[in-house]
Structure 1
């Protein structure tokens, strides 16, 4: 069912051997450290750094470097008062970039001017008001000010949102022309999953948390239980048990940081305390993916949701909401199910009933892996290399 990565690699356009490599600036506050944007930037940058076409430079406040030929430049940040953080980072980046003549500036963070902007969230004020449901403070207003300057700057050639959800917000708030938007979904390291023994992971992880090999086990991975709607997952399992419409009520394995005591009490009050297990934060989540049967992430809002793609790479069908950006790559009924934003426990319980069918899960698992193989970091690096060459070779000089 889980086959190794057999992707072809599409070669970037060749660069003239007499021409110097394009000088590329990659901007991000934290490079190579924990986080979605941080991982996205480092996975692509390290792959491009070994290509002859590029001379890669990273501008960051903190970084974790590898063996790749990358030049790192420290960007100071003023931490207090807090509202100066986004402004100071953008200001120091601008001053540092003035000292170099870069062919392409690619930022993964809000700065004043760049050629390519990888947009990993939604516009900041939209997030604050619509998702967090809080009035903006000085930090939020400062962040939004820098963001607007970057998105509307004349130098910007491409803005790369991580999902259509983000693209729509950018179009709505900033009236960004469709021709300037280029969707750039995150990638996944398929080899991370292929080097493990699935059956051994299944046996050991399940035994560790009190599940048998025959149990149907649902996986939940997240650092914000409220936003990811862990309560909906717990209540849906409880409803399934109460209705008794299926002989196989799933267990739930929760990985991540959150208020475990609160949701343990919820599970107890719902009568399924013994079915919900909390594993806490895990440095390596891969064995947990391989030990489970499906992933649930019906978030209130998630700009993409890397765990969805990772679960698919591990051959897990997924259950997500319409407000999860990864729905762009999930075909309902083939790779899993997409719940309405206002889903109730009954909605999800019906989906869980379908996933109790072993044959259906097996077919979905194979399709999930096939879909995930389309999003290897190697393929994404090829696409980005082509964009760098298009922009870098087309520029006659720095744009003001």
Structure 2
């Protein structure tokens, strides 16, 4: 099949990771893939390594990137650029005449709709609301039960058009890194070797619940437990203001000496370095990093945002706390940080569930099944 992805932009986030892994799988199965996008958004970070590697990988896979200008500036300029972008995207789609159009950005779904084309879209975020640019796709991919419920309740998606395809991750996360390499990673980043490591991977922001994690540790852990741990955050700040925001919260809770903040990078070795991984996010459609941590053999605790109950059976292969409830998260951390056998048991069962349900191969096969259904319609 000839497949076209339509993506507003690539950021340093789970969406880009998901699209990359899906792209790799489709190409490996012999499909021709094109991506229409405005490009790569670096945000507050000055390190563009992630985007260079992403672009290089697409090129190496033989995927052609077709660029349009993302509308910005004053209202008049924005309208002009919007028209140019619309014409450019439409022109590329007509020229390619793909078998499948897959809109990964909901606010671009109106373009294939205007062209009278059948198309697929994926619910990658639960922050979108009904608007004139969003048009219901022929087939809609939901990545969790929560995202399915969201699209029906908030977006008004016809239930008969929804197909469930869990996000998948590479099974490389299941491969253990030698312990000496993990110890060297701790040494390089000045991470204590005599503490229980509590980790997080993601954007440092309110949306991802950084403040909830800090409150749970500072306010609701016993002094004895706090003294046993060190916190490692792997991720970029949403913007420069968030660096001061985090510093102020840490100082208020008097735990600023117990934290290491590292820029976003390949999280694989860090999941193995962590003893406990926490995803306190206020907004998710799936929560890819939680599955990465589980497959890596790290005991995982996460908020009950979308994807939580697809991933975790509470108390068996991980823990789930009520979103915003820092006290409940603190109670769960108090229990798990002081019970190593329970921690290891949950980590082992979490890895098993991730390998059985959330691999790239399953995601790719299930996505292709949706494409084949679209072509038959």
Q: What TM-score, normalized to structure 1?
A: 0.76
Deviation at 1:372, TM superposition (A): 1.9
Counterpart among 275, 278, 296 of residue 278 in structure 2: 296
Distance 2:139 2:104 in 1: 12
Distance 2:316 2:268 in 1: 22
**Cα displacement string for residues 116-147 of structure 1 (whole angstroms, at most 9, x for unaligned residues):** 11121125237xxxxxxxxxxxxxxxxx3211
1:348 aligns with 2:326: no
**Contact 1:30/1:61 (CA < 8 Å) preserved in 2?**
yes
Other-structure match for 2:128: 124
Other-structure match for 1:51: 29
| Rg larger in structure | 1
- In structure 2, the CA distance between the partners of 1:170 and 1:240, relative to structure 1 (3 Å rule), is closer
The alignment covers a number of residue pairs equal to 344
**Cα displacement string for residues 87-144 of structure 1 (whole angstroms, at most 9, x for unaligned residues):** 7545532332223432221111222224211121125237xxxxxxxxxxxxxxxxx3
Other-structure match for 2:89: 93
**Contact 1:312/1:365 (CA < 8 Å) preserved in 2?**
yes
Other-structure match for 2:73: 80
**Contact 1:89/1:111 (CA < 8 Å) preserved in 2?**
no
Deviation at 1:30, TM superposition (A): 4.1
Other-structure match for 1:312: 294
Name whichever structure is richer in helix by fraction: 2
**Contact 1:294/1:316 (CA < 8 Å) preserved in 2?**
yes
Residues 111-190 of structure 1 aligned to structure 2 (within 5 Å):
111-112=109-110, 113=113, 114-122=118-126, 124-125=128-129, 144-147=131-134, 150-151=135-136, 156-190=137-171
1:390 aligns with 2:367: no
Structure 1 unpaired stretches of 5+:
1-21, 127-143, 396-400
Distance 1:317 1:204 in 2: 22
**Cα displacement string for residues 337-370 of structure 1 (whole angstroms, at most 9, x for unaligned residues):** 11112413x3222111221211111111111211
- In structure 2, the CA distance between the partners of 1:100 and 1:270, relative to structure 1 (3 Å rule), is closer
Distance 1:235 1:80 in 2: 38
- In structure 2, the CA distance between the partners of 1:353 and 1:116, relative to structure 1 (3 Å rule), is same
Distance 1:348 1:235 in 2: 9
Structure 2 unpaired stretches of 5+:
40-54
Q: What TM-score, normalized to structure 2?
A: 0.80
Other-structure match for 2:45: none
Distance 2:175 2:87 in 1: 43
Counterpart among 224, 249, 252 of residue 231 in structure 2: 252
Counterpart among 376, 383, 387 of residue 359 in structure 2: 376
